[in-house]
Structure 1
Amino acid sequence: MQSIQQMIETVLNDVQPVVLAMVFQVKGSAYRKEGTWMLIQEDGARIGVISGGCLENDLHNRAIEMFNTGKVEIVHYDLSAEDDLGWGRGAGCNGVVSVFVRDIDNDFRHFLTLMHKQFLAMEPVLFIQSISEFDNYAFLNESKNYLDHWQGEIPFELDAFTPFQNKVGQKSKNDEDEMIYFQLIWPRPALYIIGAGVDARPLARLAVNVGYAVHLLDSRSALCNEIHFPTAVSFQVDDTEKLIDNISLSPLDSVVIMTHDFQLDAKLMHRLRDHQLLYLGILGSKKRTERLLGEEIPNWIHSPIGLSIGADGPEEIAVSIVAELIAVRRGGIS
């Protein structure tokens, strides 16, 4: 499932007509939360989901009537019905989902281009959209500059936020009747996997599936390549110590060490421990990590890596690591 950042890239790289469906309000419970995006393309492709399959067909039918029109509409779906006549067909979600549906015209496509440039610079943006004045939309960056089709004062500021924390909601504009939807959108998270062995392959695949941009680092070109990691963003083949020194790691980045080489891991940890990272994990037991560090494991290093789910084998271990990555990114654990 593509992230919002990947959806924006899809829009910018494909000129065919496309409609954006965006959940801006949920009352009660629902399958997806506020801030969920979905694209519907003219060729029939759907990118992303906003429900468990209850609403997508109706949205697709609406999109067919909207392609190349520049139209925008709001649709409210009541999923609380307990019979087969409701949208949930008896699923009992007990929620009302409000969806903002927009044909992406040239103006909004240009707006997404500007937003995409912010993501490439690894900067979050605060996207805002008037719920009543459909042509009123804008985004703020960390410098509190904005690029927009907005008229009047913007009632928001983008303060410092915890990396990747969600911030979605609505507020009134200067206590007026106009409601403003806002959504803090972060750049696509980067995951650097050091070690391109067989056990790294399912990790890379699963991480991409949940929105990570995966980068592989290894000294072995026969392993570190597109054949074994078809969904990775980049491959860096050289002495891994040199590679680490040449990467500009940021507090938004995650690193997983899985070289299976004790001496190399010790050197890598020495280079990485001074970097402020969102996540740093190393494969192996707690005792092994303590030996290579020469001390107790600091609480910001994840070892043993992954959530404790009794995982066995590369696929299950990859699941546990990705689960921990998500938990850290969402603020569930530190």
Structure 2
Amino acid sequence: MDDIFQILSKLSLIKGKSVLATIIHVEGSAYKKEGSCMLIADDGSQIGLLSAGCLEEDLRWKAEQVFLDGTARIFTYDMKDETDLAWGQGAGCNGILHILLEPINQLLMENLFMLKTCLDEGDSVLQIKQFDNDFNLVSTSFFSEKGKAFGDKCPHSIEVNDFIQSGLMTIENLSPAFIHLFKPKPRLILFGAGEDAKPLVHIADYIGFHVILCDWRPSHCNKANFPNAHTIIQGFPQEIYEKIKLTQHDFVVIMSHHFQRDKEFLSLIKNDKLSFLGILGPKKRTVRLLGGGDIPQWISSPVGMDIGSKGAEEIAISIVAEMIKVLRKRTTVGSP
């Protein structure tokens, strides 16, 4: 997932000076794309990566310059040359990266905390970094999907949903701007708190999903058994369904191994628009859960990419891999 979540979660722990490094433009291919960011602290520590390790040491040195004068700067790295003296060092990045380094002053710190609040509330936020014609950073503005605006005042109206791709562009023929849309962590609603759910919860959390674990058995569904679950909901399917309030951005996996409970939960959600719906177990079982007929194409059954997985850990990897594939395409599934 985006490095911004790691940065925002640890921002309050950073003492002393720090610099936010953001990829604002990529020419060719690169390990990370526009909008990727990392934090560099003056004690030499860092959060996140912008490359496969090729650039970070030099970025720390360049951050020292930003620490000294407190001025944001753009640095360019040509990763195409594969000689030993070049940045690419044969790593195969084959692109040119333009990276903005900006000091995290009090105002930016406040804006980042506000960004965290919005994302935690499930609110997408559009960030606009405006430059002058010499590419000096002039202002940073934020606009949330729910109508919040913070940061510097933007001289024009913004529709958050008009922007999908990140990168440098012009707005209303003004000077160049870097645009990036921060999206909340995708939610994984997992129905079933059996032993085989443990590696799935752990891996999904590590990858960056907001995991909501649901089950009717308190002895199974609890924080002691699932310390990586962000939310625990104990209850029967109807109670759970009323609490989670599904959206088209959600991922759902059904794996309680209890046929009647799975059937009841599936009957409640099968008409909702979702990003992903997967059901553990063979196709014949899913057909029975649906009451017969063909399995709709938008239901993943059996859930998980076909990698020949065996055991709970490998099955969990296959499920997360399939969810990542869907996440990158970001389409909505569900009955018409």
Query: What secondary structure is seen at the aligned counterpart in 1 of 2:137?
Result: coil
Percent identity of equivalent pairs: 38
Q: Compare 231-240 and 266-275 and name the one that shifted more.
A: 231-240
In the TM superposition, 1:137-176 aligns within 5 A as 137-142=140-145, 146-150=149-153, 152-153=155-156, 156-159=158-161, 167-176=165-174
**Residue number among 185, 189, 198 corresponding to 1:201 in the alignment:** 198
- The superposition leaves residues 222-281 of structure 1 with CA deviations (integer Å, 9 ceiling, x where unpaired) of 433334333221222333542233222222221111101111111111122233222121
1:255–1:280 CA contact under 8 A, matched in 2:
yes
**Residue number among 217, 232, 235 corresponding to 2:232 in the alignment:** 235
**1:70 Cα deviation after fit:** 3.8
**1:54 Cα deviation after fit:** 0.2
1:185 equivalent in alignment to 2:157 = no
Relative to structure 1, the CA distance from residue 60 to residue 230 in structure 2 (aligned partners, 3 Å threshold; closer, same or farther) is farther
* Displacement over 6 Å in runs of 4+: none
Amino acid at match of 1:282: I
Query: What secondary structure is seen at the aligned counterpart in 1 of 2:268?
Result: helix
Instruction: Tell me the equivalent position of 2:245.
Output: 248
1:79–1:88 CA contact under 8 A, matched in 2:
yes
User: 2: distance between equivalents of 1:15 and 1:190?
Assistant: 31
Relative to structure 1, the CA distance from residue 170 to residue 66 in structure 2 (aligned partners, 3 Å threshold; closer, same or farther) is closer
Instruction: Tell me the equivalent position of 2:265.
Output: 268
Instruction: Tell me the equivalent position of 1:304.
Output: 302
| Unmatched tracts of structure 1, length 5 or more | none
1:69–1:103 CA contact under 8 A, matched in 2:
no
Instruction: Tell me the equivalent position of 1:289.
Output: 286
The number of residue pairs the alignment matches comes to 328
1:17–1:68 CA contact under 8 A, matched in 2:
no
Q: Compare 284-293 and 307-316 and name the one that shifted more.
A: 307-316
Amino acid at match of 2:112: L
Q: What TM-score do the two structures reach when normalised by structure 2?
A: 0.88
**1:46 Cα deviation after fit:** 2.1
| Unmatched tracts of structure 2, length 5 or more | none
Q: What is the aligned-residue RMSD (CA, Å)?
A: 2.4
Q: What TM-score do the two structures reach when normalised by structure 1?
A: 0.89
In the TM superposition, 1:77-226 aligns within 5 A as 77-131=77-131, 132-142=135-145, 146-150=149-153, 152-153=155-156, 156-159=158-161, 167-176=165-174, 178-226=175-223
User: 1: distance between equivalents of 2:160 and 2:226?
Assistant: 37
Relative to structure 1, the CA distance from residue 288 to residue 173 in structure 2 (aligned partners, 3 Å threshold; closer, same or farther) is closer
